[in-house]
Amino acid sequence: MVSNQEIAEKLRDMAVNTGTLNCLGCGFEHNCSVHGCAVLKQAAELISQPNEPLTLEQLRQMDGRPVWIVEPPDWGHWELSADAEDYIADRDQDLYGLKHDDPAGQCGLHVLGWLAYRRPPEGENHHG
């Protein structure tokens, strides 16, 4: 599997190829420069950032953006909501990030714990 860093490098390499057919009509073409495609540069920046668990404050700002939720029973799935409070509404905030050496838990979490990420953590087995 290709790492996010490798993908980011390839996107940066591709970004300098502006003015081609794949560039027309993206809606961001006026924000491109001699340094390349704005969309590809932004994508490279996003996936090259560390993928730390979101804080509850960051999670509350994820309106309309997909979130990778790690919780039982599947230990990893995507959720999408127009209102980020939906990510929190059905879960106990006090159990967010609950770490404990629990044989029934996964990803370092207690079986009752849960976390949210911008994307699935690398190196984990992903379901969903």
Tens-place pLDDT, residues 10-19: 777 776 665 6
Q: What is the dihedral of CA 62, 65, 68, 69, to 10 degrees?
A: 50
Task: Tell me how far CA of residue 60 lies from CA of 9, 65, 67, 110, 127, in angstroms.
Answer: 30, 11, 11, 23, 24
Q: How far apart are CA 11 and CA 18, in angstroms?
A: 12
Residues 63 and 111 placed together within one structural domain of the fold: yes
Put simply, whether the predicted model's pTM sits higher than 0.85 gets the answer no
Tens-place pLDDT, residues 81-113: 999 999 999 899 999 988 877 676 676 787 788
- On whether the CB atoms of residues 68 and 119 are closer than 8 A, the answer is yes
Residues 24 and 44 placed together within one structural domain of the fold: yes
Cis omega before residue 73 (within 30°)? yes
Residues 61 and 113 placed together within one structural domain of the fold: yes
Tokens representing 123 are 């190196």
Range of the domain at 96: 56-117
Tens-place pLDDT, residues 22-42: 565 566 656 666 667 777 777
Residues 60 and 112 placed together within one structural domain of the fold: yes
Domain count, the chain: 2
Q: What is the dihedral of CA 21, 26, 29, 32, to 10 degrees?
A: -90
